[in-house]
Amino acid sequence: MACAVAAGVPAVGSPAPEFSLPDQAGRTLRLADYRGKWVVLYFYPKDDTPGCTEEACAFRDDQAALTLLGAQVVGISLDDTASHAAFAKKYSLPFPLLADSDAKVSASYGAVTNLVVAKFARRYTFLIDPQGRIAKAYLNVDTSRHSAEIIADLKRLTSR
């Protein structure tokens, strides 16, 4: 669940790999834009598929609780900005979905699967602290309870 043992996955306590990617509105966002906040950086395989929709909608539904804990949700997949825009609009997603078309950012987090005919982002999530370090890595995500798990961990981490 929380230990970074998969190949290429940044270790807990290490600096989170930087990114600079377009969101569903075409704005370029960087990890540095979120310095001073907790970041829930979640990678997901494909827009508008059952598991990805369940996960995104849970984050949407829990947005108020996440915001109260000082966290910003950011999704990343290999889909393009147009696909992200349609997905975000269809489900009223209030957070950025970043297009990692060349899979470089996903690879820097160890979150890319190459299936010969296609590449997909793995369903991994990284909780990044306000200083930009990996606080927790989730490599075995259950979409039905993942948002609640993140909220519980944020409560624990922010009460120190």
Residue 52 annotated as catalytic: yes
**What pLDDT, on a 0 to 100 scale, did the predictor assign at position 160?**
63
Fold of 34-158: Glutaredoxin (3.40.30)
Q: Residue 26: pLDDT band by 50, 70, 90 thresholds?
A: very high
Residues in the chain: 160
**Would you say residue 119 has pLDDT above 70?**
yes
pLDDT (tens digit per residue) in 61-113: 999 999 999 999 999 999 999 999 999 999 999 999 999 999 999 999 999 98
Per annotation, catalytic residue among 39, 41, 52, 98: 52
The Cα-based distances of 120 to 102, 112, 132, 141 in angstroms read: 11, 6, 25, 15
Q: Mean per-residue pLDDT for 31-51?
A: 96
**What pLDDT, on a 0 to 100 scale, did the predictor assign at position 6?**
58
DSSP 59-125: HHHTHHHHHHTTEEEEEEESS-HHHHHHHHHHTT--S-EEE-TT-HHHHHTT-EEE-SS-EEE-S-E
**What pLDDT, on a 0 to 100 scale, did the predictor assign at position 117?**
77
**Would you say residue 5 has pLDDT above 60?**
no
The domains of the chain are located at 34-158
